[in-house]
Amino acid sequence: MDIAIVGSNMVDLISYIHRMPSEGETVEAPDFRMGCGGKGANQAVAASRLGAEVVMVTRVGNDVFADTTLKNFRKNGIDTTYVLRTDASSGVAPIFVDPDSRNSILIIKGANARLSPADVEAAREDIARCKLIVLQLEIPLETVYATIELGEVLGIPILLNPAPVAPELDLERIRGIEFFIPNESELELITGMPVDTLDDIGKATDVLLGAGITNIIVTLGSRGAMWAHADGREIIKAPAVQAVDTTGAGDAFIGEWVDHGDVTASIRAGNRYAADSVTRHGTQSSYALADGSLPEG
């Protein structure tokens, strides 16, 4: 195994609407689409499409959405040994997209909110065989902290993507992690510092370095990413592309975080892969295979 992803899965329920109904009203919507998502699942799919061996530790419900998610993991070659069934709804995200492409999103975490430290402990033997553990914040914080502790015991580096941001994230309990990858707004909320300029962003990363995190990589959209570490900081630019849909770009960037030998090479590869993904619509449907082609179906 290369990567253990301890995180979320969701099924996106996308309604294309003319307008939102007002209270008590029923309106017809012209179109509907279902898609697999959730930050953990997106990152797992990107990593697996790039050739990494991925084991996913997550919880699904006991419903048709669970079947959809499991089928999607298997289709993408992800190890589903620790995709656990729960007596709850699966994580779902009803999304409403209006004719101007503006969206309103509801997130129902469902079974994701039940992923426990004991579930992670149950996967210990397989996690121990991985080179990297990847975490986001769509699961309970106690499970995130327990996974970090397990990583420390096993001597496996941790990558934490603090999304969606949890202002109550305790920096003391994530001390010592190897890679922390927020976007600008997550960095702002976690540090309580402004991120208006690159200088501001650099100063905010100093707070996290001071809190004992080894590498902070701030994703900067079309500008690429800033890498801050004990010896300094640098900007690694993303290739210029014609972006049509940036949804899921952050997850693509992290999915590409396989072993590239050094951090700069990983960031370059992450920029390239994520920039390529924003040239296509959709989230997982925009993630290419290692040879640049798209998977069939």
- Name which of residues 127 to 186 contact ligand ATP (CB under 6 A): 183
Nearest-approach distance from CB 105 to ligand ATP, in angstroms: 11
- Name which of residues 12 to 51 contact ligand ATP (CB under 6 A): none
Q: What DSSP element (H or E) covers 236?
A: strand 232-236
Nearest-approach distance from CB 87 to ligand ATP, in angstroms: 31
Rounded Cα gap, residues 42 and 221, in angstroms: 18
Nearest-approach distance from CB 193 to ligand ATP, in angstroms: 17
286 annotated among ligand-binding-site residues:
yes
CA angle in degrees (0–180, nearest 5) for 72-249-288? 50
Determine the distance from the C-alpha atom of residue 109 to the mean position of all C-alpha atoms in its chain, rounded to a whole number.
14
| 271 touches ligand ATP by CB under 6 A | yes
| 107 touches ligand ATP by CB under 6 A | no
- Name which of residues 182 to 201 contact ligand ATP (CB under 6 A): 183
Catalytic annotation present for 79: no
Q: Which residue is nearest to ligand ATP (CB)?
A: 250
Total number of residues that touch ligand ATP (CB under 6 A): 21
49 annotated among ligand-binding-site residues:
no
Can you list the positions of beta strands (E) in 19-172? 31-37, 54-60, 83-85, 92-97, 103-105, 132-135, 158-160
Closer to ligand ATP at the Cβ: 207 or 241? 241
Report the SS3 class of residue 249.
helix
The type of residue at 102 is R
Q: Crossing angle for the helix pair 39-49 and 64-75, nearest 10 degrees?
A: 20
Rounded Cα gap, residues 188 and 190, in angstroms: 6
For residue 164, the 8-state DSSP code is: S
Closer to ligand ATP at the Cβ: 86 or 191? 191
7 annotated among ligand-binding-site residues:
no
Residue from 88, 275, 284, 287 binding ligand ATP (CB under 6 A): 275
Among residues 79, 119, 251, 276, the one annotated as catalytic is 251
Closer to ligand ATP at the Cβ: 119 or 256? 256
Strands 215-219, 225-229: pairing is: antiparallel
Cβ atoms of 148 and 179 within 8 Å: the answer is: no
Question: CB under 8 Å to 231, separation ≥6 — which residues?
Answer: none
Cβ atoms of 34 and 11 within 8 Å: the answer is: yes
220 annotated among ligand-binding-site residues:
yes
112 annotated among ligand-binding-site residues:
no
- Name which of residues 221 to 260 contact ligand ATP (CB under 6 A): 221-222, 224-225, 238, 241, 243, 246-251, 253
Q: Cβ of 101: how many Cβ atoms within 10 Å?
A: 9
Strands 158-160, 132-135: pairing is: parallel
The contact mask relative to ligand ATP for 203-222 (x = CB under 6 A, - = no) is: ----------------xxxx
Positions marked active-site: 251
Q: Which amino acids are annotated as binding site for substrate, given as ranges?
A: 10-12, 38-42, 138, 251
Q: Which residues are annotated as a binding site for K(+)?
A: 245, 247, 277, 280, 282, 286
Q: Which residues bind ligand ATP (CB under 6 A)?
A: 183, 219-222, 224-225, 238, 241, 243, 246-251, 253, 271, 274-275, 278
